[in-house]
Structure 1
Amino acid sequence: MFRAGMWGLAALVAALALSGCSNKGRLAPVDDHSIGGVRGATRVLPGAENAGKPGYYTVKPGDTLIRIGMDNGQSWRDILRWNKLDNPNLIETGQVLRVAPPAPDVAVARPAISPAAAPASAPVASAPAPLPVPSAAEDAISFQWPARGNLISGFDESKNKGLDIGGKVGDPVLAAADGRVVYAGAGLRGYGNLIILKHNNTYLTAYAHNQTLLVKEDQAIKRGQKIAEMGNSDADQVKLHFEIRRQGKPVDPAKYLQGN
């Protein structure tokens, strides 16, 4: 009986040793959101309590602040500030960001209390961020053609979110309307050297594939001002890709440029 027990113990030790060898070198799953090594304790991402609310956006794989700003009609710098982010490159899938301006703080109505019981300062509460409603004046904005050249490709909501205008390297690219530069750089894949202008709370315009950018972020721009020179950055030919976005959504520029 003692010998049988010893053999059973030896078999158990051998099994444990083999189990240890089989796990040697195996890595834990990369997407492990456990807290402090405790499985089942999932970390809550910033802003999760606002998911689905008007004026907020849930980050998707591949998103950047530039893309989120353009898709929501906002400057990426404003989104950075509204969400108190230190690094624009550090956003996470599932994180919820404010993409509409916060409303001003408003005083909370309180019942009358005696001076002896009054606090040192009155509490305040932030109202929910309202979504901007386009006014008739904002919708009546006049856009001019941003370049002279042949139309290569028209607007297609699923395939081409703007117009492609042909030309030669160095041809002038003009601002379609008065506005402010909210982005100038090459940080958005597929657009090359890109300029985004914000015209009001309703409209943005985008100018892509430039050779040279002639303006800087936060610069005020006048309608018809030369802002870039045409090129083929991140494109298969020399062209200007031009978009008009109404509250972040691409619309057919041809419907806005006719008659200008």
Structure 2
Amino acid sequence: MQLLRQHQEFTVFPFTFIKTIMLSAAVVGTLAITGCASKPQINQPVRYTNAPDYYTVRAGDTLSGIAARYGLNYLNVAELNDIAPPYRIYVNQSLRLKGSSNRRTVATQPMAQTAPIQRQTINLPTTTAQTSPSRSVQNLPPATTTVPVVPKAASNLRWVKPSTGPVIQNFNLASNVKGIRYGGNVGDPVLAAANGQVVYAADGLKEYGNLVLIKHVDGYITAYAHNSKMLVKSGDNVTAGQKIAEMGSSGADRIMLEFQVRLDGKPINPANIIPIN
């Protein structure tokens, strides 16, 4: 009887021991699987849209938003386009997204020596009228009454008259005339006053109508306002005497061309640099 009891205890003990080991192994396996499943997933890389060489600014765009869309640094985009803080951009502006700033050139006449374009912020002409709230266009602060006198020899540019029409108003800051106004007929040619690159061609300022802005070397910018038709677009290179628009009365109460010249952002008298006759 005693031997039978010992045999039963010996038989039960191994079975219980083996069952305990199997349960422990199952628990460990479950924990291992759970631990593997709880490992954080590796973040997938963000896919950006391929950046074009140039981008035309639309209403609501910001420099940082455009850069983020294409996975670019907005500071690099600002550097490429000579945009200074606070990094303002305007509708229809052509932004370069690829390349380097030292590649940007302006077409010139054959055999003419070309000076590099100096960095500057492109601003639209100042006006006292209010702009439409639906357009993102920045205005310059009011111009000062101190106007630098620029001798013709100070620039490497070859200047020509933008119009063959008669002068109807001369430069007069006191009367808020920041350029020379030429008369004529609808469709009369409007000519680029010097070699340069078109940086704006739109009607973002209603009081200037169809407006063309051209950036030149040596810090000059020229403006051509009130056109009936524009023949160039932002980013185009132009040469002195090239027809860029046709005279009209957009944004004005009469047919005319308002021609402005700015040096380092300040309005100057165009008569100081363009031929009088």
Which has the larger strand fraction? 1
TM-score, scaled relative to structure 2 = 0.46
TM-score, scaled relative to structure 1 = 0.49
Which has the larger helix fraction? 2
